[in-house]
Amino acid sequence: MNEFVEQFLIEGRELVAQGNDDLLALEERPDDRERLDGAFRAFHTLKGAAGIVDFVAMSRALHAAEDVLSAVRSNTAPVTPALINLCLACLDQVSVWIDRMRSNGEVPADADAEADDLVRRFATLASPDSAPLAPHDAADATKRAEASTGLSAIGRELLEAQKLMLSEPATEDAAAARLESASRIAANVLRHHGRSLDATDLEGPLQSSLVAGNAEAMIEAIDRILEGLAERPPEQPGTLAPQAPEATLRVDVDRIDTLVRLTGELLIAKNAIGHSAERAADEGDPRALAVALKNQHLALDRLVSELQRAVFSLRVLPLQHAFQRFPRLVREMATALRKPARLMIEGATIEADKTIVEAISEPLLHVLRNGLDHGLEEAAERAALGKPATATIHLRAERQGEHVVIEVEDDGRGVDVARVRDVARQRNAAPEAAIAAMSDEEAINLIFAPGFSTVSQVTDLSGRGVGMDIVRNTVERLGGRVSVSSQRQRGTTVRFTLPFTVMMTQVLTVEAAGQVFGVPMEAVVETVRVGRSAISPVGAARAMVLRDRTLPVIDLGQALGRGARAPEGDTNVLIVAVAGQLGGLEVDRLGDRMDVMLKPPEGLLAGIPGIDGTTLLGDGRVLIVLDLGEIFGNADD
Amino acid sequence: MGYRVLVVDDSKLARMAVAKALTTLHPDWTRVEAANADEALVLASKDAFDLAILDFNMPGRDGLHLAAELLKLKPALPLAVISANHQVEVVTRAREVGATFLQKPLTDKAMGEFLAAAADRLASP
């Protein structure tokens, strides 16, 4: 990827965020000249950026948006919800394009159709009279629909099938799963037809359907695709694509300087040890040498932990990264539920480890949605209680020592503790006696208990359409806690306490008996390739000689229950240090080094010896990290 | 001889594009970069440069206002104002303050012409 594309991706993302921000503020205060200029400038600079990397389709789409905003600036057009929606949709598309470019550094080849669609929609907005109307001729309806929607016959059939499935009665969990699947299939059909923009727009109806607990919004959305009405009604705009991990980080110069300084000090420490080694070779006083070495070890120890802290501080991101899409999403969910609400964000500049910031987005979204859905009263109820018509949700972040605390606070009806106790009893979320003994503060937190929420069986780790227990699981996986407090009629606060840094363990992956395992890197001394004949049986065990030392060798495949192999050919042996002793671990293949967040084994794995912990791999598989102490300890028996 | 060029644009990507064109056309010229009008004026008060290339649409003062300020400091300064939009108003105003209008995306040809004309002006006292 060349440096221009790299800079384009960084700047593009920032400009999309700035544009979103300005457009939302402009919607609230249509007369805010500064926001209008800001939004215009975001589109204008994005267009210029697209020109520099020769992304013609993106330039065209942005030019159309710029024209519309230009008309507003010269007071020849008003700020309307339709205008804001379309501009937001345009930024969504840009965001999708940027994501696609990030994967391979190439300008997306199929962007033209998507740009055409946007240009057409902007033209319709500018002069509604000239908009092409849907034909009313009844003849050859399929062909007409195909021409206007660009959908193939197979695509239509697939969409019809989803509608049928959605209209069937289903239990709550099955309904949620069906909605997700229908939305995925509809999105794929649209993407297949080069209409990724409409595909991302399905997120809105999906959220509405999940919140409302019926498939109506989703069925309507599919109907609109089938009827060729690309425009969504103004009350259901699209959403931003979910957060993907950033490949680049912006780093403070001060932090780089710290690293440079530490590197200098490490060099000095290294030289000092070299000097000691010379003294040892010259057969100096061993006692004095031991003192020198001890001091040097202390100095190194201090430097290494300082270096570790400095490196961790490079991985931080402001929470803004996770928060930036929430104003849009809250606006959409509030509109879909017809509960006016505004989101107030504080502390978006607070930083935390990149992993935490990226992983906390989904749980926060779930809590926000839950709050809007269950926490906020209907408009009439609010009016009767004398509460302001527009509800306020505060999202605030604060650094507290080694922790980052994030709170989501609403001014809704609060949690009904008696009802929580009832539901927990009905669903056996906790033993009857325990529930009765709980204080109100404790009982409220039963909402996080496994089995409390009816939809918690859907094993969707992303946190969408799942119960609060999944929120808690996700937060605990990050090494954090979540709790809820509430006052009747006053509101509810959900509080996340998260670690500022994440301890990463470096592992080496190895393969044995067709499975992949992780070995903690700190235990690995070296890897050698030896002839199998060099490993000889010693009683019931096996051993090999390495540089005049005899080491016990364990065949990992055999330890896993596979039969012993014939003593021919070469094999890979990992030389590991366990409790000060060296040992050999024979494996089929050596893999990569990787940094992982280790989780203690739980559930069925908890009882199995030899497992240090587990971690999720990028492709969703679970990597089991071996406890070498136990493996070699058992071998001694 | 090498001239010193001031490049002002809020987009780093845009400054990179200008820098690339400059390096291709005049590898011996040096440049200083600023992200907005305020930064540019601070630089201008400390350091002398021979010509300036300014983005029109920036947060704070726009490129034309900055051009007027810079010309107050150095009336004979060759200037270019660049914008992605070929708006008649901007082009006219650029001409009025004595700046050359260049359109984004910048071509080596347009850039070359501006730089050649600027070099001529700087060479003849």
Q: How far apart are CA A307 and CA A262, in angstroms?
A: 7
At which of A276, A298, A314 does a domain end?
A314
Pick A45's closest partner by Cβ from B11, B17, B105.
B11
Q: How confident is the model at residue A286 (pLDDT cuts 50, 70, 90)?
A: confident
Look at residue A599 and give its three-state secondary structure.
strand
The answer to whether residue A243 is domain-embedded is: no
Domain final residue pick, A71, A106, A130: A130
- Report pLDDT for A237: 29
Residues 6 or more apart whose Cβ sits within 8 Å of residue A408: A364, A367, A368, A371, A393, A394, A395, A493, A494
Which residue is closest to B17 within chain A, CA to CA?
Answer: A52
Q: In 3D, which of A220, A151, A158, A207 has the Cα closest to residue A179?
A: A207
Is the Cβ of B84 closer than 8 Å to some Cβ of chain A? yes
CB count, 10 Å around CB of A304? 13
Angle, alpha carbons A162-A460-A602 (nearest 5°): 155
Per-residue confidence (pLDDT) for residue A174, from 0 to 100:
73
**Nearest by Cα to B48 from B93, B6, B106:** B6
pLDDT of residue B118: 92
Amino acid identity, position A562: R
Q: Kindly determine whether residue B10 and residue A45, on different chains, have CB atoms separated by under 8 Å.
A: yes
In a domain, A237, yes or no: no
pLDDT band for A485, please (50, 70, 90 cuts): very high
Residue A471 has pLDDT above 90, yes or no: no
Q: How far is A36 from chain B (nearest CA, A)?
A: 12
What pLDDT is recorded for position B7?
A: 95
* Cβ–Cβ contact A55 with B under 8 A: no
The one-letter code for the residue type at A563 is: G
β-strand partners of A554:
A585
**CB of B17 within 8 Å of any CB in chain A?**
yes
Q: Cβ separation of B13 and A41 shorter than 8 Å?
A: no
Residue A133: the pLDDT is 40
pTM for the structure as a whole: 0.55
Domain holding A267, by residue range, is: 253-314
Residue A362 inside a domain? The answer is yes
Which residue from B minimizes the CA distance to A6? B13
Report residue A275 as tokens.
Answer: 């000097």
Assess if residue B8 is contained within a domain: yes
Q: Do B13 and A51 touch (CB under 8 A)?
A: no
Q: What is this model's ipTM?
A: 0.89
Taking residues A375-401, report their average pLDDT.
Answer: 91
Please report whether residue B122 resides in a domain: no
Task: State whether the Cα torsion A276-A281-A284-A286 is positive or negative.
Answer: positive
According to the model, what pLDDT value does residue A127 have?
73
Q: Retrieve residue B56's tokens.
A: 């029109």
The count of domains in chain A is: 5
Query: Which residue of chain A comes nearest to B55, CA vs CA?
Result: A45
% of chain A exceeding 70 in pLDDT: 85
Is pLDDT above 70 for A244? Answer: no
Res B2 pLDDT > 70: yes
Select the more confidently predicted residue: A456 or A378: A378
Q: Are residues A522 and A597 in the same domain?
A: yes
Amino acid at B7: V
Which residue in B has a C-alpha nearest to residue A5's C-alpha? B13
The reply to whether B86 touches chain A by the CB within 8 Å rule is no
Tell whether A242 is covered by a domain: no
For position A63, what pLDDT does the model report? 93
* Chain A nearest C-alpha distance from B52 (Å): 19
Residue B93: inside a domain, yes or no? no
> In this predicted structure, what is the pLDDT of residue B115?
93
Residues of A in Cβ contact (< 8 Å) with B107:
none
Contacts of B59 in chain A (CB under 8 A): 38, 41
Does residue A52 belong to the interface with chain B, where contact is any CB pair within 8 Å? yes
- A131's CB contacts (< 8 A; 6+ apart) are A124
Q: What is the pLDDT of residue B4?
A: 93
Tell me the sheet residues that pair with B6: B32, B52
Shortest Cα distance from B35 to chain A (angstroms)? 13
Give the mean pLDDT of A293-298.
87
Over range A314-323, report the average pLDDT: 86
Specify if A156 maps to a domain.
yes
Q: Does A3 touch chain B (CB under 8 A)?
A: yes
Cβ within 8 Å, pair A48-B10: no
Q: How far apart, in whole angstroms, are the C-alpha atoms of residue A8 and residue A98?
A: 9
Count of CA atoms in the C-beta half-sphere (13 A) of A566: 2
Mean pLDDT: which of A282-291, A382-391, A572-581 is highest?
A382-391
Listed residue (A554, A541, A612) closest to A582, CA to CA:
A554
Kindly report the CATH number assigned to the domain that includes residue A401: 3.30.565.10
Say if residue A494 is in the same domain as residue A529.
Answer: no
Q: Does a structural domain hold residue A245?
A: no
Query: Residue A194 has what pLDDT?
Result: 60
Is pLDDT above 90 for A102?
no
Determine which of A52, A59, A63, A67 to mutate to test the interface with B (most B C-beta atoms within 10 Å).
A52
Instruction: Say which residue, A624 or A184, is predicted with more confidence.
Output: A624
Which H/E stretch holds residue A59?
A: helix A56-73
Flag whether B120 is in a domain: no
* Predicted confidence (pLDDT) at residue A504 exceeds the cutoff of 70: no
User: Is the Cβ pair A7, B13 closer than 8 Å?
Assistant: yes
Q: Is A537 on the interface with B (CB under 8 A)?
A: no
Q: Which CATH number belongs to the domain containing residue B105 in this structure?
A: 3.40.50.2300
What's the mean per-residue pLDDT of chain A?
A: 81
Q: Do B16 and A3 touch (CB under 8 A)?
A: yes
Q: Is residue B70 part of a domain?
A: yes
Alpha helices in chain B (DSSP H): 12-25, 37-46, 63-73, 88-97, 108-123
Q: Is residue B117 part of a domain?
A: no
pLDDT at A252: 76
- Same domain for A514 and A492, yes or no, is no
Alpha-carbon distance B84 to nearest alpha carbon in chain A (angstroms): 6
Which residues have C-beta within 8 Å of that of residue A349, sequence separation ≥ 6? Answer: A318, A319, A320
| Same domain for A350 and A488 | yes
* Statement to judge: residues A258 and A200 lie in one domain: no
Q: Which residues constitute the domain of residue B61? A: 4-82+101-110
Q: Are strands A341-346 and A391-400 parallel, antiparallel or unpaired?
A: parallel
Measured CA distances, A139 to A135, A136, A144, A145 (Å): 10, 9, 8, 11
Taking the C-alpha atoms of residue B19 and residue A46, their distance in angstroms, rounded to an integer, is: 19
Rg (CA), chain A: 30
Q: Tens digits of per-residue pLDDT, A547-579? A: 888 889 988 888 877 777 777 788 899 999 887
CATH of the domain at A543: 2.40.50.180
Domain annotation covers residue B41: yes
Q: How far apart are CA A16 and CA A160, in angstroms?
A: 35
Residues in B closer than 8 angstroms to A48, CB to CB, are 11, 14, 84, 104-105
pLDDT at A196: 64
A450 touches chain B (CB under 8 A): no
pLDDT confidence band for A59 (50 / 70 / 90): very high
| Residue of chain A nearest B82, judged by CA positions | A48
- Nearest Cα to B65, choosing from B85, B76, B79, B51? B79
Taking an 8 Å cut-off on Cβ atoms, the answer to whether A38 and B59 are in contact is yes
A304-308, A395-399, A510-514, A627-631: which is most confident:
A395-399
**pLDDT tops 90 at residue A405:** yes
Shared domain for A386 and A527, answered yes or no, is: no
3-state secondary structure of B7: strand
Residue A456 predicted with pLDDT over 70: no
Q: With respect to residue A241, please indicate whether it lies within any of the assigned structural domains.
A: no
Identify all chain A residues contacting B16, using CB atoms and an 8 Å cutoff: 3-4, 7, 52
pLDDT of residue A238: 30
H or E element in which residue A591 lies: strand A589-596
Q: How distant is the Cα of B11 from the closest Cα of chain A, in angstroms?
A: 7
Q: Which of the residue ranges A234-248, A301-315, A407-421, A600-614 would you say has the lowest mean pLDDT?
A: A234-248
Q: Is the pLDDT of residue A1 over 90?
A: no
A41/B84 Cβ within 8 A? no
Residue A193 confidence class, pLDDT cut points 50, 70, 90: low
Q: What single-letter amino acid sits at A413? A: R
pLDDT tens profile A112-142: 999 999 999 999 887 765 444 433 334 444 4
Q: Residue B18's closest chain A neighbor by CA?
A: A52
The pLDDT of residue A144 is above 60: no
Question: Does residue A547 lie within any of the structural domains?
Answer: yes
Do B11 and A66 lie within an 8 Å CB cutoff?
no
Assess contact for A597 and A503: CB atoms under 8 A.
yes
| Contact flag B12-A7 (C-beta cutoff 8 Å) | yes
pLDDT of residue A152: 66
β-strand B100-103 against B79-83: which pairing, if any? parallel
Residues of chain A with C-beta less than 8 angstroms from the C-beta of B13: 4, 7-8, 11, 49, 52
Within 8 A by CB and 6+ apart from A260, the residues are none
pLDDT at residue B32, rounded to an integer = 92
Mutate to test the interface with B, among A7, A22, A58 (most CBs of B within 10 A): A7
Residues A345 and A451 placed together within one structural domain of the fold: yes
**Sign of the Cα pseudo-torsion (A368, A374, A378, A384, in order):** negative
User: Which is more confident, B84 or A398?
Assistant: A398
In chain B, which residues have their Cβ closer than 8 Å to the Cβ of A45? 10-11, 14, 57
Mean per-residue pLDDT, A422-441:
88
Residues A489 and A549 grouped into a single domain: no
A295 and A402 housed in the same domain: no
Distance in angstroms (rounded) separating the CA atoms of residues A568 and A524: 25
Worst-scoring range by mean pLDDT, A32-36, A62-66, A543-547, B18-22? Answer: A543-547
Q: Are residues A341 and A476 in the same domain?
A: yes
The domain boundary residue, chosen from A467, A499, A531: A499
| 3-state helix/strand/coil string of A273-330 | HHHHHHHHHCCCCHHHHHHHHHHHHHHHHHHHHHHHHHHHHHCEEECHHHHCCHHHHH
* Same-domain check for residues A123 and A201: no
| Inter-chain residue contact A4 with B13, CB threshold 8 Å | yes
Give the residues across from B5 on adjacent strands: B31, B51
Angle between the N-to-C axes of helices A33-52 and A56-73, in degrees from 0 to 180, rounded to the nearest 10: 160
- Give how many domains chain B has, as a whole number: 1
C-beta atoms of B17 and A3 within 8 A: no
- Whether residues A358 and A478 share a domain: the answer is yes
**Could you tell me if A41 lies within 8 Å of chain B, comparing CB atoms?**
yes
- Per this entry, what is the length of chain A? 637
Q: How much of chain A, in percent, has pLDDT values that exceed 90?
A: 24
Q: How confident is the model at residue A619 (pLDDT cuts 50, 70, 90)?
A: low
Chain B residue numbers touching A49 (CB-CB < 8 A): 11, 13-14
The answer to whether the CB atoms of A7 and B16 lie below 8 A apart is: yes
In a domain, B28, yes or no: yes
Angle between helices A203-212 and A216-227 (to 10 degrees): 150
- A-chain CB neighbours of B11 within 8 Å are 11, 45, 48-49
pLDDT of residue A461: 30
Residues with Cβ within 8 Å of A247's Cβ and at least 6 positions away in sequence, in order, are: A102
